[in-house]
């Protein structure tokens, strides 16, 4: 299977270890997995997600723009900040979707046709519990042999999240006929519905207009 073609979903087991978020009604996860259009579009269609914002993490505020990040030398990755209700969907369930349908975790510093460290597969844990659960899941998945190669997803210290430009927000929903979306991202939405029907919602939760900075 060619690197460009393999953004196909992989049916994988759920995490054996998950966070205990009993009593919490809101929590945040920060995932990077290639172009944020598709990753955002997937998580906007997951029940329990209350917001999913495209942006940049890993670098500094001064370089948190698309034009600058696109050079691949800023430390930033195209990232999605996911706000969710742990009483409806857990951190582990979000990771299950992330590794199964949102991206290909075996592609090092690229996803499909997109090349560069800004497209790397990365989880930015917000605390030690997230880091521990994410590391355990990566080890669990590697042991299954279900992927075409070893998982290259990194766990990087979270410094900050910077929302991307307005024109990147809700891009999949607003541009369903965009050729890149048709080829690379709409299949992810179809896979989400097929593999996770109990988690799928047809009407996405959208960002809308970002607050003025």
**Which of 10, 12, 35, 207 does the annotation list as catalytic?**
35
Identify the pLDDT of residue 8: 84
pLDDT, tens only, 122-140: 999 999 999 999 999 999 9
Predicted confidence at residue 212, as pLDDT, reads 78
Banded pLDDT at 213 (limits 50, 70, 90): low
**pLDDT tens column, 28-63:** 999 999 999 999 999 999 999 999 999 999 999 999
| pLDDT exceeds cutoff 80 at 5 | no
The pTM score is 0.96
| Mean of pLDDT over the chain | 96
Nearest to 31 by CA among 154, 186, 213, 142: 154
DSSP string, 120-135: -EEE--SSHHHHHHHH
First to last CA, the chain: 44
Taken in order of first residue, the domains within the chain and their CATH numbers are: 27-195 (3.30.1060.10)
In sequence order, what E strands does 34-172 have? 49-57, 77-84, 110-111, 114-115, 121-123, 154-155, 161-163
Among 127, 194, 163, CA closest to 52: 163
- Whether the predicted pLDDT of 116 surpasses 70: yes
pLDDT at residue 168, as a whole number: 98
Active site residue 35: yes
């Amino acid at each position: 299977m060619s690197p460009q073609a393999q953004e196909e979903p992989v049916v994988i087991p759920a995490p054996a270890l998950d966070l205990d978020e009993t009593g919490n009604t809101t929590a945040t996860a920060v995932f990077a997995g290639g172009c944020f259009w598709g990753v955002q579009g997937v998580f906007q269609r997951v029940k329990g997600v209350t917001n999913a914002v495209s942006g940049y993490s890993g670098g500094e505020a001064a370089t948190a723009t698309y034009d600058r990040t696109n050079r691949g030398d800023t430390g930033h990755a195209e990232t999605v900040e996911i706000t969710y209700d742990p009483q409806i969907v857990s951190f582990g369930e979000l990771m299950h979707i992330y590794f199964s349908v949102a991206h290909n975790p075996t592609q090092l510093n690229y996803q499909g046709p997109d090349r560069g460290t800004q497209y790397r597969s990365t989880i930015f844990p917000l605390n030690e519990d997230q880091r521990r659960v994410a590391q355990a899941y990566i080890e669990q998945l590697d042991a299954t042999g279900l992927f075409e190669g070893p998982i290259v997803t990194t766990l990087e210290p979270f410094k900050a999240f910077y929302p991307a430009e307005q024109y990147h927000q809700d891009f999949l929903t607003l541009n369903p006929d965009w050729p890149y979306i048709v080829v690379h991202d709409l299949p992810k939405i179809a896979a989400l519905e097929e593999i996770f029907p109990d988690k799928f919602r047809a009407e996405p939760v959208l960002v809308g207009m970002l607050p003025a900075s």
